[in-house]
Chain A
Amino acid sequence: MNFLYAAYAATWIIHITYLTILVRRYSRLRKDIEELGKK
């Protein structure tokens, strides 16, 4: 039974980790674009 919840939790942890990485990359990109706009 614990394995069931572990599997479901693992699935979402993996997805959320990837999405977090994407969000971070996006904000960094936004910052780069703004810096470029200022130059």
Chain B
Amino acid sequence: MKRGFTIFALLTAVLLSYALYQALEVAPTERTMGDVQRIFYYHVPSAWTAFLLFFTNFVASVAYLIRRNPKADALALVTAEVGVVFCTVVLVTGPLWARPVWGIWWTWDVRLTSTLVLWLIYVSYLMLRRFSSSGQTPVLAAALAVFGALDVPLVYFSIWYFRTQHPQPVIGGGGSIAPQMLHVLLINWLAFLCFAVLICWSRYRLERLRQELEEVQAL
């Protein structure tokens, strides 16, 4: 297990470096936005990874509600935490991209705003986990996760309609993407996905250890 982890870690490091090189050097420069557009190669993969992690959290939470398996609870906590980290990256890189391109830090761009709400929901999830007494935490957190998941389509629709009424610049632009750019995007996504799995793996082991310690201490 330990060796597999180390090998995977090295592989991920190599992949991330390669992806960085691709993003900064190999990818073609965008016509209208220039080099700033390269933020895209970090912004979008982080978003997709965060969404994947949050989806995993939802599945783990439902699994916990059905089976009450502490492993499912650990997975839920881990994916929520790491998801928030990646989500934070999206919310920081977004405005850093918008400012030079549009001159404004924030726009009620559908995707960025939905990501903000998602971030808020999951931060509230982490707060609940921190503040509730440990007997109840897994069940309450799982219930909140289900509510969060139910909210997601409503969040997206409400903001989408809000935006069609108050049109604003779109971060990342609409429309199709050049094949060379798509190639770089996917490499970066793969790299960050591996990185996320790596972090989740270690965090999961840490959490299971903590769970066992708590059990022993309760005796």
Contact = CB atoms under 8 A, between A and B. Distances in A.
Tell me, yes or no, whether A and B come into direct contact in the complex with CB atoms closer than 8 A.
yes
B36 A1 contact: yes
A7 B89 CA distance: 9
Interface in B169-219: 195, 199, 202-203, 206, 209-210, 213, 216-217
B85 A18 contact: yes
Interface residues of B toward A: which range?
Answer: 20 to 34
Interface of A: 1, 3-4, 6-8, 10-11, 14-15, 18-19, 22, 25-26, 29, 32-33, 36
Given A10-B93, A14-B85, A18-B199, 20 more contacts: A1-B34, A1-B36, A3-B36, A3-B39, A3-B97, A4-B36, A7-B43, A7-B97, A8-B20, A15-B85, A19-B199, A22-B199, A22-B203, A25-B206, A26-B206, A29-B206, A29-B209, A29-B213, A36-B213, A36-B216
B35 A11 contact: no
A33 B209 CA distance: 9
10 contacts: A3-B100, A4-B36, A4-B38, A4-B39, A10-B93, A10-B96, A11-B46, A29-B209, A29-B210, A33-B209
A14 B86 CA distance: 9
B199 A11 contact: no
Contacts of A18: 82, 85, 199
B216 A11 contact: no
Contacts of B122: none
A3 B37 CA distance: 10
A36 B206 CA distance: 17
Interface in B8-46: 20, 34-36, 38-39, 42-43, 46
A6 B42 CA distance: 12
Nearest to B38: A4
